[in-house]
Amino acid sequence: MLLEFVDHFINNKLYIASFLLSFFVTLLSTPLVKKMAFKVGALDYPNNRKVHQEIMPRLGGLAIYLGFFVSCIVFIPMTKLSVGLILGGIIIVILGIIDDIYNLTPKIKLIGQIIAAITLVFFGFQVQFINLPFDGTWILGWLAIPITILWIVGVTNSVNLIDGLDGLAAGVSAIATTVIMIIAFMMGNDFVLLYCAILLGAILSFLIFNFYPAKIFMGDTGALFLGFNLAALSILGFKQVTVVSFIIPILVLGVPLSDTFFAIIRRILSHKPISSADKNHLHHCLLRMGLSHRASVLVIYGISVMFGLCAILLSQSALWLGIIVLCILALGLQLGAEMIGLINIKEKPMLSLIKKLRYHFGNALRSKPQ
């Protein structure tokens, strides 16, 4: 199936042309945006939470958007859905630009994200039903709108939260976009495939400047824009998935969503506000373990690829296999989070349970008559 996807993509002139246009527009505009960032004061200063030690321009998301926008105007048919995506994207990019320059409060940023999400809903983006096991379907009814808004805002912020190392958010977003493309190909969804090709071209082009050591950060302009688009694409791309459809987009976005989930749990256990910042995200934990900046990013890329492969497998698998994969993945996530201290450095229930079982099993073996 993957080979069929590659063959389909490289032999389709529309996909290749749209990918290349967004790639080269972003490639040419990034140096210009970098100069602009210094002029308007869109700069990221070092502090005790930041990994970088120098003042960095952080308006790079604008270059991603320029490549994306130009290619969309040329290649995307202007339908109700595409107009909604473009208008919502404009709102989120303007919000990001203002935040990168003036540092908006969390409340103002949240209001802006909700407005962008409502724009998508107005143009027809809604999670109207969820496929359940054993051929069941949950029709959401009046819940469709609040659940859609919550999903869009949640994913948008989750990508923003992982933007802590050079190339991290861009690389994870590129992997997620590629996985959505593959599943869209399997589902026969040409619109999502074309849209992803455009988005992927812009992301990969920006990574040339953003991978370690970065010359420019994407800032909230880029992180919010990528999260917003991934949330929208996941709504569009997985309606035909028959095995628990809501699980697939969660797996595609596994790294940012799991990091956000563990951050919420961590702050609740520490009796801190959910919106408070800390240095215990996945990339911080890997750095504390002794991994280099580049190695930490590559490890998280690998985790993201693993999530993506699971999503592709589940989208085509039988229910029983999906349940097994999800159980193994959930146990692995919990165990990995405890091992690196992602939830709480002191409280590690699964590791404690394993230690107790090993202790009792060892005693049982030693007391066994020879």
Please answer whether residues 243 and 252 qualify as being in contact, where contact means their C-beta atoms are separated by less than 8 angstroms. Answer: no
User: How does DSSP classify residue 79?
Assistant: -
Q: Which of 335, 312, 150, 145 is nearest to 241 (CA)?
A: 312
Of 295, 300, 183, which Cα lies nearest the Cα of 230? 183
Rounded to an integer, what is the distance from CA 184 to the centroid of its chain? 17
Residue-wise burial string across 28-50, b where 16 or more C-beta atoms lie within 10 A, e elsewhere: ebbeebbeebeeeebbbeeeeee
Cα 289 to Cα 34: distance, rounded to the nearest angstrom: 33
Which residues touch 10 (CB under 8 Å, ≥6 apart)?
A: 16
The enclosing H or E element of 72 equals: helix 61-75
DSSP 289-301: TT--HHHHHHHHH
Q: Whole-angstrom Cα distance, residue 266 to residue 261?
A: 9
Report whether 157 belongs to an annotated binding site: no
d(CA 7, CA 324): 31
Q: Strand 56-57 vs strand 43-44: parallel, antiparallel, or unpaired? A: antiparallel
Q: How far apart are CA 182 and CA 185, in angstroms?
A: 5
**Pair 86, 72: CB distance under 8 Å:** yes
Joined together, the tokens standing for residue 283 give 């990339």
State yes or no: 47 annotated in a binding site.
no
Q: How many residues does the chain have?
A: 370
Give the phi and the psi of residue 161 in degrees, each rounded to 5: -70, -30
Count each helix (H run) and each strand (E run) in the chain, helices first: 15, 4
Which residues contribute to the annotated binding site?
160, 220
Which residues contribute to the annotated binding site for Mg(2+)?
160, 220
